[in-house]
Structure 1
Amino acid sequence: MAVGAPSPRVSASRLSDEVVQRLIAQIREGAFAPGTRLPPVRQLAARLGVSQSTLREALRTLEAMGVISIRHGSGVYLRRGDPLNGVWSSRWMQWLLQHAPSLLEVLEVREAVEAQAASLAALHARAADLRRLERVLVEGTALLAGRRGRPLDEGVLAAYVRLDEAFHETLAQAARNDFLHSLLQGLAAAIVESREATLAIPGRIQRSMREHDAVFQAVRRRDPEGARRAMQAHVRRVVEEVRSLKRRGARHRGRRGG
């Protein structure tokens, strides 16, 4: 289909991330139909006013985000259906790819420490702790009500990050162990950015809510081993998703062409 008049030239200082955002905006505006082939790299790069290498980097990012499919020898195709469904900011994807090794180390520690906190919370949580945990879950459900299938905006993401922090902090307090609480506060400070980046992964907030509910149910029924297993499963799923993203990013960075 026709793609319209050339767009204003992209500032060189923005590089590929700016190209990603420009292309997402054009897709959102209907410049390219789902399932269709994008213009050749040479033509699209000229239209955007960037080098072909910069455009290829942006296209690899878009492929990792699930927006397009790069078929070598054939071209670049927009995903069928709603290509932007579940897309999250390329800024966070790039952050995760850059910090994945250190983040995975922190998550390994979180799995052990937070699982113990959940187990202790099942033994020591007071009625007020349970009410706070339940309130966080209710607020999370309300936050996402009516948003099924719609991309998250930054406001919703920021609001859920605060709820995620509140859930884990309340659980740590409910463990009634000052040393463990201090250790978890230190870990929380170390993962401020990673918390937002991982929650920005498409579908992670919804999965996080289900996993939090499993932890809460075990704590409420005073099941320390069940709470431990539920928290371990929660953190391990985050680890699996970060590792999967890291593998995808490595594959796309290794490609040359489009």
Structure 2
Amino acid sequence: MNVKKISTRKISEIAAEHIEEMISKGSFKPGEKLPSVRELCELFGVGRSAVRDALTSLQAKGIVQVKQGEGTYISRFDPSKLFNSPHMHPGIKDIQELFQARKMVETGLAEMAAENRSEEDLAKMNRLISDAAIHGWEEDYQFHMAIAHAAGNDILIQFVQFISETLKKSMIDFHHYLQTREDIAKKIEEQHLEIYLSIKNKQPKLAHKTMIEHLDLVKKHLQMSILQEK
């Protein structure tokens, strides 16, 4: 009997992952109604209990909303829910708005970092951009967080962490995409160096300018990489 329960749980998890993946790729869009339980059973070739369990799991994560007597709907993008659901992809419009927020916040942080940075801050940034592993999401994230810490505003540090976590899954996939685009990866490395040098040389206006150029480039190619996956 225990074997049966484990198998059922795994089927529901797989069904939930399939639904999440279809949402992330745009097959099901925010605000739209999901197919009925019966239709999902036929689509995935699983039982009703597995589909119901999958929908319950997705509802708990804020990905879908069950309306009594109406059906199940895809939740509209909500960063506070995605914060606890790193496997979810925000859509193209959401990414545009998140990068607008990044430009407003991170350009200001770059300026502040150019004015307030310590030698320890510079050493950490330099270590990150000198590391061959900068192509990875973690190193990229740590570089931007080092700038935020150098600026010295704890509230804005938390805000950058929040946006980064919301974009985490998309950015991890983006760094995989960069492995096939050496030209773009190299340009991003060069921009990181330019940002670092402007902060090191205490040039806040230049730090602001180079950060805008960097975020615009990343947003452009992130959107392109997402469209290629569809």
TM-score (norm 2): 0.55
Larger proportion of helix: 2
CA contact (8 A) 2:171 2:222 kept: no
Alignment of 1:211-250 (within 5 A): 211-245=191-225
Partner-residue secondary structure (3-state), 1:236? helix
CA contact (8 A) 1:103 1:194 kept: no
Alignment of 1:110-125 (within 5 A): 110-125=102-117
Alignment of 1:1-150 (within 5 A): 99-140=91-132, 143=133
Structure 1 residue 171, shift from structure 2 partner:
0.6
Paired residue for 2:161, among 173, 182, 185?
A: 185
Q: How many residues in Structure 1 have an aligned counterpart in Structure 2? A: 141
Runs of 4+ deviating beyond 6 Å: none
Task: Say whether 1:208 aligns with 2:188.
Answer: yes
Task: State how far apart, in whole Å, the 1-side matches of 2:175 and 2:103 are.
Answer: 17
CA contact (8 A) 1:111 1:235 kept: yes
Task: State how far apart, in whole Å, the 2-side matches of 1:199 and 1:216 are.
Answer: 20
**Residues 247 and 139 from structure 1, CA distance in 2 versus in 1: closer, same or farther, beyond 3 angstroms?**
closer
Structure 1 residue 247, shift from structure 2 partner:
6.1
Task: State how far apart, in whole Å, the 1-side matches of 2:166 and 2:159 are.
Answer: 11
Task: State how far apart, in whole Å, the 1-side matches of 2:120 and 2:173 are.
Answer: 31
Which residue of 1 is the match for residue 142 of structure 2?
Answer: 166
Q: Point out which structure has higher relative CO (alpha carbons under 8 A, 6+ apart).
A: 1
Which residue of 1 is the match for residue 20 of structure 2?
Answer: none
Question: Could you list the per-position Cα deviations for residues 72-106 of structure 1 after superposition, in whole angstroms to 9, with x for gaps in the alignment?
Answer: xxxxxxxxxxxxxxxxxxxxxxx97x832222221
Structure 1 residue 199, shift from structure 2 partner:
2.1
| Alignment root-mean-square deviation, CA | 2.5
Task: State how far apart, in whole Å, the 2-side matches of 1:125 and 1:115 are.
Answer: 15
TM-score (norm 1): 0.49
CA contact (8 A) 1:100 1:242 kept: no
Identity %: 19
Amino acid at match of 1:180: L
Task: State how far apart, in whole Å, the 1-side matches of 2:227 and 2:165 are.
Answer: 27
Q: Which runs of 5+ in 2 are unaligned?
A: 1-14, 16-87
Amino acid at match of 1:113: V
Amino acid at match of 1:107: F
Which residue of 2 is the match for residue 72 of structure 1?
Answer: none
